[in-house]
Structure 1
Amino acid sequence: MFDFKCAVFDLDGTIIDSMDVWEKIDVGFFAKRNLNMPNDYMEKINNMSFEESAKYTIKRFNLNEGEIDLIEEWNEMAVYEYTHNIKLKPNVKAYLEKLKENNIKIALATASPKELYEPVLKNNKIFDYFDAFTSLEEVKKNKSYPDIYLLAAKKLKVNPRDCVGFEDILVGIKNMKKINFKVVGVYDKHSSNEIEDIKKNCDKFIYDFKELL
């Protein structure tokens, strides 16, 4: 059950239940501009950094706004939610405790910047379980590339072959597999359109972390 040296976790949609918040933020963002949010928008930006999302949004919708302005607007809307309201998915804390009991190193590999991941982890009292933190801001490439997962393993000083990764999106799972992570796919309703492909590409698929306890 714990025949690995480290566990690398995605954040949004994997260990925290935040995707509804992002849908709310995105809908509000478009409403301010008298635009309807396209059905594929969240899926398109799901593996991007804030900077990439801003570039994509400005280009796709021909917005006469700067990237920094969009990022600041998204941050302003998100920080309060991440600091006060967003909760863990069921049984996440119990599983992290079990990993620590078995001397497994734990890292975060997230698209969210530090001003979001730090308060949500602290508010849910799991920040101190993590030995390393990595975000897309550090690697300058989105999750269509394995760089963020490689950096997480490097920070933990562990060979990728000795890591288990936890992800809710298909592109992240595929890139973990490319670098020889074992991968646990985690169910999130916002990735349900990819669920069959996710199941085919991961080593194990779970609906709830209690399945690992």
Structure 2
Amino acid sequence: MRLQGAIFDMDGTLLDSMQAWGALGSSFLRRQGKEPGEDLDRILWTMSFREGAAYCAERYGLGMDPEEVMRLMRTEIADFYRFRVVPKPGVERMLALLKMEGVWMYVATATDHPLADIAMDHAGLMKYFRGMVTCGDAGRKKDDPKVYEMALRRLRCKKEDTVVFEDALFALRTAKAAGFRTAAVYDPSEQDQDAMKAEADYYIRSFEDWTEIG
């Protein structure tokens, strides 16, 4: 069965960016003159962006509302995307091969459009894709398959001939439960790699070693 369509997550899958997100809370607080707790980043990892901003504002007495904290954090991550983010090793070669083979590709990301646009522009990868859809567009997080279904409709590909590439186990499970073929992409931010290998149709340790999905 040949691959007709491919839907890619962005952070941790296409881009080497999860470390920046994981350290965002601590980095932000230090810029505000506050020393973060040792467990801060672990706590924030389980929260939404808004929940994390509210937690930081209250826990560290920042004297600003969550909206202001979110604005400043977005500025910080935007700077990372605009100047420092890079594709994961081997990604551009792999995308070029897929495009050459006629595979239609879409980005499906939880990151807001303005930030995702900055990141993909700096990384130089958007030229390989037919478009991008975000969880904000879908109105759902990635524990719901709506963002993948939106990307599939825009690609106009058959679901059984489309692979979703994800680095997070919960998102991989969402896509798989919705009937997509799935490719697990290794990123150190996901600790349960055994489950990724067991549940995905394909496992990619590194795009540098990638050969073919057919």
Q: Same fold (TM over 0.5)?
A: yes
Q: Which residue of 1 aligns with 2:195?
A: 197
SS at match of 1:164: strand
What is the CA deviation profile of residues 24-75 of structure 1, one whole-angstrom value per residue up to 9, with x for unaligned ones? 3221234435542435335414xxxxxx421355269746754432321121
The amino acid of 1:94's aligned partner reads R
Q: Which residue of 2 aligns with 1:54?
A: 50
Q: Which residue of 2 aligns with 1:133?
A: 132
CA distance in 2, matches of 1:169, 1:42: 16
Q: Which residue of 2 aligns with 1:182?
A: 181
Which residues of 2 match residues 24-35 of structure 1 at below 5 A? Answer: 24-31=23-30, 32=32, 33-35=34-36
**Number of residue pairs matched by the alignment:** 205
Report if the CA contact (8 A) 1:176-1:183 is conserved: yes
Q: Which residue of 2 aligns with 1:21?
A: 20
What is the CA deviation profile of residues 106-165 of structure 1, one whole-angstrom value per residue up to 9, with x for unaligned ones? 100111112222122222221111102011111121111111111111111223222101
Which residues of 2 match residues 105-124 of structure 1 at below 5 A? Answer: 105-124=104-123
- State the Cα distance separating 1:168 from its structure 2 match: 0.5
Q: What 5-or-longer segments of structure 2 have no aligned partner?
A: none
RMSD of aligned alpha carbons: 2.1
CA distance in 2, matches of 1:207, 1:141: 28
Report if the CA contact (8 A) 1:107-1:132 is conserved: yes
Q: Which residue of 2 aligns with 1:91?
A: 90
SS at match of 2:192: helix
Q: What 5-or-longer segments of structure 1 have no aligned partner?
A: 46-51
In the TM superposition, structure 1's runs of 4+ consecutive aligned residues that sit over 6 Å from their partners are: none
What TM-score does the superposition give when structure 2 sets the normalisation length? 0.86
CA distance in 1, matches of 2:175, 2:150: 12
SS at match of 2:40: coil
Report if the CA contact (8 A) 1:58-1:65 is conserved: no
Report if the CA contact (8 A) 1:133-1:152 is conserved: yes
CA distance in 2, matches of 1:30, 1:190: 21
- State the Cα distance separating 1:210 from its structure 2 match: 2.7
The amino acid of 1:154's aligned partner reads R
Q: Which residue of 2 aligns with 1:206?
A: 204
Q: Which residue of 2 aligns with 1:38?
A: 40
Report if the CA contact (8 A) 2:10-2:107 is conserved: yes
CA distance in 1, matches of 2:102, 2:146: 25
CA distance in 2, matches of 1:71, 1:152: 27
CA distance in 2, matches of 1:70, 1:60: 8
